[in-house]
Amino acid sequence: MAELTRRRFVGQATAVAGAVALSGSVAAKAAAAAGRSTRKAAAQEKTEISIYHIWGTPPGGTPAETPAPMTQVIDAFNAQSDTVTLTSSTPGTYYETLQKTQADIAAGNPPDLVSVPWAFLNYAVEGLGVKDLATVAGDQFADLQASMSDTAWPLVTKDDTVYGFPWGLSTPILYYNADLFEAAGVDPEEAFATWESFAAACPALQDALAGNPVLGLSYNKDWPAQTIIQSNGGRVLNDDGTFGFTSDEAKEAMQTIADLDKAGFYDRGTRDELRPSFVAGSTAVLQSSVASLNGLTNDVAFTLGTSTWPRFGDKPVIASTGGSFLGVFSDDAAKYPAVVEFLTFCASEEGYSLWNQTGYVNISNHELERLPGQEPAYAQFEAGLIRETNWPSARGVEAGSTWDVYCERIWANDISVEEGVNQALQEITAIIGA
Partner 1 sequence: MAVASPGQPALQEVQPTAIKRAWTGYRLTEGLTPYLLIAPLLILIAVFIYWPLIYSAYLSFYDWNFVRPDKTYVGWDNFTRLPDDPRFTRALRGTLIYTVTLVPLQVFLPLGLALLLWPIRKSRAQTRYRIMLFSPTIIAYSVAAVMWLWIFNPLQGILNKVLAEFGAERINWLSDRSTAIWAIIIVATWKTLGFHMLLYLAALESVPKDYIEAASLDGATHWQIMRSIRFPLITPTFFFVLVTTVISVNDDVFGAINVLTDGGPFDSTTNVIYYLYQQGFQFFQIGAASAVAVLMFAATSLLTWVQFRFVERHVHYG
Per CB under 8 A, residues contacting partner 1 are 7, 10-11, 13-14, 17, 95, 98-99, 102-103, 105-106, 123, 126-129, 212, 268-273, 276-277, 280, 282-283, 394-395, 397-398, 401-402, 405, 408-409, 412, 414, 427, 430, 434
What are phi and psi for residue 107, nearest 5 degrees? -85, 0
3-state secondary structure of 324: strand
Find the shortest distance in angstroms from Cβ 411 to partner 1: 11
**Can you list the positions of beta strands (E) in 80-218?**
84-89, 113-117, 157-158, 161-162, 165-170, 172-177, 215-217
The CA-atom distances, in angstroms, between 353 and each of 315, 331, 377, 397, 400 are 35, 30, 18, 33, 34
Find the shortest distance in angstroms from Cβ 71 to partner 1: 22
Q: What are the residues whose beta carbons fall under 8 Å from the beta carbon of 416, sequence distance 6 or more?
A: 410
Find the shortest distance in angstroms from Cβ 397 to partner 1: 5
Task: Give whichever of 193 and 405 is closer to partner 1, judged by the CB atom.
Answer: 405
3-state secondary structure of 154: helix
Task: Give whichever of 216 and 322 is closer to partner 1, judged by the CB atom.
Answer: 216
Q: What angle do CA 88, 351, 66 make, to 5 degrees?
A: 65
Q: Left, alpha or beta for 359 (phi > 0: left; psi -120 to 50: alpha)?
A: left
Task: Give whichever of 27 and 103 is closer to partner 1, judged by the CB atom.
Answer: 103
The 10 Å Cβ neighbour count of residue 179 is 17
What are phi and psi for residue 155, nearest 5 degrees? -70, -20
Find the shortest distance in angstroms from Cβ 421 to partner 1: 15
Residue 323, beta-bridge partner list = 169
* Local structure of residue 364 (DSSP, 8 states): B
Find the shortest distance in angstroms from Cβ 66 to partner 1: 23
Find the shortest distance in angstroms from Cβ 156 to partner 1: 20
Find the shortest distance in angstroms from Cβ 98 to partner 1: 8
How far is residue 232 CA from its own chain's centroid?
25
